[in-house]
Amino acid sequence: MSDDASLSIAGRSLPGKVWALIKPYWSSDERWSARGLLASIVAMALFMVFLDVQFNTWNNSFYNALQEKRGEDFWALILWFSFLAAVYIAVAGYNRYLNLWLQLRWRRWLTDRYLADWLRDRVHYRIELKGYGTDNVDQRIQEDLKDFASLTLSLGLDLLSSVVTLVTFANILWVLSGPLTLPVFGGITVHGYMMWVAFAYALVGSGLTHAVGRALAGLNYQQQRYEANFRFDLVRLRENSESIAALRGEADEQRNLRRRFQDVWRNFSSLMHYSKRLTWFITGYRQIAIIFPFMVVAPRYFADTIKFGVIFQTASAFGQVQGALSWFVTAYGELAQWRATLERLTSFHEAIEAARREAMSGQGIQVVAGAAHELAMADVTIALPNGNALLGHVQLRLVAGENTLIGGASGIGKSTLFRALSGIWPFGEGQVMVPTGARLMFLPQRPYLPIGSLREAVAYPADPAGFSDEAITAALQDSQLPALTAQLDESSHWAQRLSPGEQQRVGFARALLNQPDWLFLDEATSALDAATERHLYRLLGERLPQTTLVSIAHQPTLAAFHARRVVLTVHNARAVISEVLPAAGSS
């Protein structure tokens, strides 16, 4: 995606959107192995059509042998059928296996590419803040990519097989049909009439199928959305189960989940209604197709112009032609699901492109290289995602080695200022100047703890292999978490397992290991008692003497660990930096 600007999806037609999503994989580094797999699958599909032709010819010989009571031919034909069936079964199995293998490889490539584009340049953060018309990104990466790869391959290969089957059996059916004279139309003679009947039957069926099931694409799109919303709320409940239990909030959560499920229920009820109508039609269409060719060819048999075996060969050929022509009918449900998946991936792709274009446009707050020993803001206006200004014309200079405490009333914009200083907040204008090569780390009130081993959680975002067990153990012990030192290789959902205070202490252990040049602490000790807070700040000063601390905190006790204090106040309904003062004391 991102490495091929010509594949922009916005404004394209449906075929253009499909091609934009399909082309990158088939022209990627994996193209030759992918094309080889696809060629093998296509070759097997063509060979299975060849076997269908052999079965069709077998029908003629077998039923003629039955009619003429030729026993030796009967048993020889049974053996020939057994051989053909064994080959067909083997080829079908390998065809399915290679199809699934290609689906898996394509899905892996799509997943890697979408994850890379979503995470690159903090696009994921912009999308989360601003939306860009997309929702449930997790579902689009996990489920929609899987469905797109599997449905595109299965539908595409089925269509190819249907086209080859049509071309092959149309000729057979043309020859078997012979001429038909229609006295009603002045004695006109129609050659290959069975083929024309199959065309007419499939054409009418396709038109009626679309009329009956055209609402399914939109309903499938909404169903995926409602299911994802419901699943997301279930995950949130599980992750916050302790708070919900403590607040006795189960009844409210149940009401909210029932409302979410009601959307699932209503939409699925509509899906059931249209699926029922479509199933009725398709089932009836298929049932009529079984006897329809016999009805059409029977007059020629009763007139003694064809043999008994020709009836079955003609019926088989008619079924193949009609089945190939009816691909749209039989695949309509999958087509509706594929169209819904395509639209969801398209909107996700467009959201990534929009976020990246905005990031690369030069608009918004820009992070640029600054002086070697300072972090500064030059006439920066910090805005909300909707464009409303939060902090105006900020001039701020933080000097390396001079710890700074940022204060102000709750909700005034301290955390947003923090995000802008650390270089991750994109909305607004102006420049944040960061020393070249400086390592910045952000410790929020509730630090992020990835699911996995404890050593991975403590070392994050660094590779845990870069730290010895002794170093990780020492960081945990210094952060007053000695009980966790025996659990380094234990995998868990640590954000649920640890208390808020323990999570904050893991954050400090992480800082001790990673040794950043600038450490931003956004109320990073809010869940800790005063003694533990003092211990951890002293620890940072002792173990990380080269690290500059920039803190947000409401506790006045932290002033002792900072040389400078920045205060935010409100002026003309907008937050401004009103004071840059020496802190109350130093440690």
Least confident among 90-99, 125-134, 376-385, 402-411: 125-134
For residue 363, report the phi and psi dihedrals to the nearest 5 degrees.
-85, 165
- 510 vs 360, which has greater pLDDT? 510
Average pLDDT in the 187-215 region?
79
Average pLDDT in the 258-275 region?
88
Which pairing describes strands 452-453 and 491-492: parallel, antiparallel, or unpaired?
A: antiparallel
User: Residue 7 — pLDDT band, cuts 50, 70, 90?
Assistant: very low
The confidence score (pLDDT) of residue 8 equals: 54
CA 243-248-254 angle, to 5 degrees, is: 95
In the chain, % of residues over pLDDT 90: 26
DSSP structure string for 504-562: HHHHHHHHHHH--SEEEEESTTTTS-HHHHHHHHHHHHHH-TTPEEEEE-S-GGGGGB-
Least confident among 189-198, 246-255, 522-531, 558-567: 189-198
The segment(s) of the chain belonging to CATH 1.20.1560.10 are 5-360
Tell me: pLDDT of 576 over 90.
Answer: no
The confidence score (pLDDT) of residue 124 equals: 86
Average pLDDT in the 486-512 region?
92
Average pLDDT in the 130-150 region?
83
Tell me: pLDDT of 587 over 50.
Answer: no
The confidence score (pLDDT) of residue 283 equals: 83
* pLDDT single digits (tens) 422-468: 888 888 888 889 888 889 999 988 888 988 899 999 999 899 999 99
Mean pLDDT over each residue of the chain, to the nearest integer: 84
For residue 567, the surrounding DSSP H or E stretch is strand 564-571
Choose the CATH number for 5-360 among 1.10.10.10, 1.10.287.610, 1.20.1560.10, 3.40.140.10. Answer: 1.20.1560.10
Domain 365-582 bears CATH identifier 3.40.50.300:
yes
350 to 10, 26, 167, 450, 562: CA distances (angstroms):
6, 21, 39, 28, 45
The confidence score (pLDDT) of residue 343 equals: 85
The confidence score (pLDDT) of residue 342 equals: 87
Average pLDDT in the 337-366 region?
84
Q: Which two tokens stand for residue 296?
A: 């059409």
Average pLDDT in the 513-538 region?
92
Contact in structure between 406 and 422 (CB atoms under 8 Å): no
Tell me: pLDDT of 341 over 70.
Answer: yes
Q: What b/e string do you get for 335-372 counting C-beta neighbours within 10 Å, with b at 16 or more?
A: bbbbbbbbbbbbbbbbbbbbbbebbeeeeebeeeebee
Residues in the chain: 587
Average pLDDT in the 235-243 region?
74
* pLDDT single digits (tens) 149-197: 999 999 999 899 888 888 888 888 888 776 766 666 666 777 777 778 8
The confidence score (pLDDT) of residue 105 equals: 93
The confidence score (pLDDT) of residue 5 equals: 38
User: Residue 478 — pLDDT band, cuts 50, 70, 90?
Assistant: very high
The segment(s) of the chain belonging to CATH 3.40.50.300 are 365-582
For residue 266, the one-letter residue type is: R
User: Residue 3 — pLDDT band, cuts 50, 70, 90?
Assistant: very low
134 to 47, 124, 140, 145, 343: CA distances (angstroms):
44, 11, 10, 15, 11
Measured N-to-C along each axis, helices 216-239 and 250-302 cross at an angle, to the nearest 10 degrees, of: 150
The confidence score (pLDDT) of residue 510 equals: 94
User: Residue 85 — pLDDT band, cuts 50, 70, 90?
Assistant: very high
The confidence score (pLDDT) of residue 403 equals: 92
User: Residue 356 — pLDDT band, cuts 50, 70, 90?
Assistant: confident
Average pLDDT in the 75-101 region?
92
For residue 511, the one-letter residue type is: A
Tell me: pLDDT of 487 over 80.
Answer: yes
Tell me: pLDDT of 584 over 70.
Answer: no
Average pLDDT in the 5-29 region?
73
Collapsing DSSP to helix, strand or coil, 391 comes out as strand
Average pLDDT in the 240-262 region?
81
What is the rounded distance in angstroms from the CA atom of residue 109 to the CA atom of residue 186? 62
Average pLDDT in the 57-66 region?
86
* pLDDT single digits (tens) 379-425: 888 888 888 888 878 888 888 989 988 888 787 888 888 888 888 88
DSSP structure string for 442-474: EE-SS----SEEHHHHHHTTS-GGGS-HHHHHH
User: Residue 10 — pLDDT band, cuts 50, 70, 90?
Assistant: low
Instruction: Please state the pTM of the whole predicted model.
Output: 0.73
